[in-house]
Chain A
Amino acid sequence: MLSLSYLYAFTPLIGLLLNVFAQLIGFRYIKFSLLKSLILGFIIGLLFVFGAGFYGYFALAQPSGEFMTLFIVNSLTYLALSYCYAHFINLGEGARRIRIIRELYKSETGLTMGELLKIYNGRQMVENRINRLMSGGQIILRDNRYFIGKPHMLLISRIILLMKMLLLGKRSEFE
């Protein structure tokens, strides 16, 4: 019974491994978009976490109170770990600092500020982000003017802004 307790404790980690594996397969071989591959990985891992929980309840006749707690704890842990993995993928794809580091890595003799800005600059960065936001429907371009589309990104931005003001007492790093 004790070894089963260990297995339950590590269920979210096994779920995360399955998530990573499925995401890689989805992106590399099935040629899903990044978002779709992340969703695929998340669902596969979640099914495992749920499956392990239900197995304990139905097959091993776990008490319902214990089952509910384990179910909630493992689901929350898995959600948090999946969020971290999605963030890691997003860092590799969208983070400015990682892109700059990758450009510096490619150059054997280093790069001046001017050289760096030729390879990666604000214009290019804005273009990348505008394209991502428009393809996701978060913003819309109409008659050369930008409008808010789907409100998800706006909601996230407002939450982050609120936390910025709460913790740092300012709305922007440039204030």
Chain B
Amino acid sequence: MEVLLWGLTFFGLAFIAHFILWKIYLPKSQIKALLFIFLCTLLIGLIGLLNVKSSLMGLSVPDTLPEYIHISLLYISFMLAYIVTYSAIEVDSPSMVMVLKIVNAGSGGLDEAEFDKTMTDDILVKPRISDIVTAELAYMDGDKYRLTPKGILLARIFIFYRKLMNNTSKGG
């Protein structure tokens, strides 16, 4: 039972720290900041547990290495799941924007032409090109965008995986 309780307690504490920090100051690189907060919480939590003899706040403390591995795996899987979900919180997802526009239009539905007019490159594509430059995945070379080594690596990961799947759709 300790594995479940401590894993969830650490995750809850990290979430509270993240929530408070976000209310004080919104980091420029939100995903990096989230990774830092969550990994620091895990590290501090595990060190804390190692220094407690038998129980803490009525909760018994794990005493074997597999239990510590188990807590870490549970915590890291939750952390990763939260961080991938956070990308949809940080940046507007077009599919979600579309669905919300349709529901906001009411029972008469949303006119197709009116909908097309609101979905422009300025909202959908240009901000994401800026994000890529801000994240140092691409840089400006005169008037051209070119990938940085970090961008090339990311592109290769996804191109490799799409080849592995034999996925021929253009995507996006």
Q: Mark A96-131, 1 if CB is under 8 A from B, else 0.
A: 111111101100011111001100111111101110
A47 within 8 Å of B (CB atoms): no
Could you tell me how many residues of chain B have their Cβ less than 8 Å away from some Cβ of chain A?
81
Could you tell me how many residues of chain A have their Cβ less than 8 Å away from some Cβ of chain B?
83
A35 within 8 Å of B (CB atoms): no
Whether the pair B146, A100 counts as a contact (CB closer than 8 A) is no
Q: Which of B39-47, B51-59, B137-145 contacts A (4 or more CB under 8 A)?
A: B137-145
Whether the pair B66, A2 counts as a contact (CB closer than 8 A) is yes
Between A and B, how many residue pairs show CB distances below 8 Å?
Answer: 239
Q: With the chains together, A15 CA to B126 CA distance in Å?
A: 39
**The one of B3, B95, B108 that contacts A132, using a Cβ cutoff of 8 Å:** B95
Q: With the chains together, A95 CA to B91 CA distance in Å?
A: 11
A168 within 8 Å of B (CB atoms): yes
Whether the pair B146, A144 counts as a contact (CB closer than 8 A) is no
**The one of A101, A129, A138 that contacts B132, using a Cβ cutoff of 8 Å:** A101
Whether the pair B125, A121 counts as a contact (CB closer than 8 A) is yes
Please name the residue on chain A nearest to B64 by beta carbon: A5
Whether the pair B110, A145 counts as a contact (CB closer than 8 A) is yes
Whether the pair B121, A112 counts as a contact (CB closer than 8 A) is no
Shortest CB-to-CB span from B61 to chain A, Å, is 15
Whether the pair A84, B146 counts as a contact (CB closer than 8 A) is no
A153 within 8 Å of B (CB atoms): yes
Whether the pair A160, B94 counts as a contact (CB closer than 8 A) is no
Please name the residue on chain B nearest to A132 by beta carbon: B95
Q: With the chains together, A110 CA to B143 CA distance in Å?
A: 9
B88 within 8 Å of A (CB atoms): yes
Which among B92, B111, B145 has the greatest number of chain A C-beta atoms within 10 A?
B145
| CB-CB contacts below 8 Å: A46-72 with B | 65, 69-70, 72
Whether the pair A146, B112 counts as a contact (CB closer than 8 A) is yes
Contacts of A36 in B (CB 8 A): none
B interface with A by C-beta (< 8 Å): 1, 3-4, 7, 19, 22, 26, 64, 66-67, 69-70, 73-74, 77-78, 80-81, 84-85, 88-100, 102-103, 105, 108-113, 115-116, 119-121, 123-129, 131-132, 137-138, 141, 143-147, 151-152, 154-156, 158-159, 161-162, 164-167, 169-172
A interface with B by C-beta (< 8 Å): 2, 5-6, 8-10, 12-13, 24, 27-28, 34, 65, 69-70, 72-73, 76-78, 80-81, 83-84, 87-89, 91-102, 104-105, 109-113, 116-117, 120-126, 128-130, 132-133, 138-139, 141-142, 144-148, 153-154, 156-158, 160-161, 163-164, 167-168, 172-174
